[in-house]
Amino acid sequence: MDKLISLSEELAAAVQHAGRAVYAVHGRPRVPSSGVHWRSGLVVTANHTVQTDSDLTVTGPDGRTAPATLVGRDSALDVALLKIDAADRAVADVADSDRVRVGHMVLAVGTGPRASWGVVSAIGGAARRSGTDVFSLDLTLYPGFSGGPLVDVSGFVVGLSTSGAARQLQLAIPANAIGRVVDDLVRHGRVRHAYLGIGTQPVRVPDTTRGAQGEAQRTAVIVVDVQPGSPAAAGLLIGDVILSLDGQAINDPLELRSVLRAERIGQRVRALVLRAGQVIDVELVIGERPGRAR
């Protein structure tokens, strides 16, 4: 019994600690969403809950309501960034979300504060957004919880809760991915996405190629489309099979997208390609995806 009481007290303390930086975001009719004071003067929330670009307000844990301005959005990841007057306002403690494992206990925190307790039930797999492995949650996200923090048992933020993908799915975007979005929006005014400008499909690697390379790689990706003027147009052809990029094996299109991170824009990389039965090296420069291009 003492252990249960101790655990209960720790969870309550975690909610109290996280709640210092949880805001109500008034960006849609009726039910406000939640938001996290991520850095001084910057509040992150779920993009799908911010249905206007102007006349935004937030209400802090002390009950004070203040105006907010939209800095930018990443609709693919479901993140919106707002700017507020940060005088005397507590900022969230953010943890390294790469340390989160399936089975870890977590709390989704909403304004009030309100809380829902559960575990991380899966990471990645079918739950991917914009090339990011998101957390699947075994807990309930109540109305207004989207955009609020997912916290560990110490009250440190490990993700941003969202039900925007589908009402039946309870997800959280990892804190490290949120940090990258915030950096991009603050520095560039937009979220940058790396791309090569190709369409791909998974393909089986021939046994002869695997033997020649001395590797156990069984699948790769075949290029089925090359956009004119794209970074890939300088070196890749339709029918090329991409085995690896900068030494990292590419087994499927998801792995290719995970390698194409925003911080690599402008970098020269070496692609190992199977072309007409021969394995060759192709040098490419990772570009920034323009507009709605894939």
Known catalytic residues are: 48, 78, 146
Query: Which H helix or E strand runs over 68?
Result: strand 65-74
**Measured between alpha carbons, how far is 148 from 198 in angstroms, rounded to an integer?**
36
Q: Is 126 exposed, middle or buried (0-12, 13-18, 19+ CB in 10 A)?
A: exposed
Q: Which residues pair with 268 in a beta bridge?
A: 285
Omega before 113 cis (within 30°)? Answer: yes
Q: What's the one-letter identity of residue 136?
A: S
* CA torsion, ordered 95, 96, 101, 107, to nearest 10 deg: 20
**Measured between alpha carbons, how far is 186 from 188 in angstroms, rounded to an integer?**
6
Distances from the Cα of 89 to the Cαs of 17, 44, 86, 142, in angstroms? 13, 15, 5, 26
Residues 6+ apart with CB under 8 A from 126: none
**Measured between alpha carbons, how far is 2 from 90 in angstroms, rounded to an integer?**
32
SS3 83: strand
Q: Is 196 exposed, middle or buried (0-12, 13-18, 19+ CB in 10 A)?
A: buried
**Measured between alpha carbons, how far is 44 from 254 in angstroms, rounded to an integer?**
26
**Measured between alpha carbons, how far is 26 from 271 in angstroms, rounded to an integer?**
47
**Residue owning tokens 């939640």:** 34
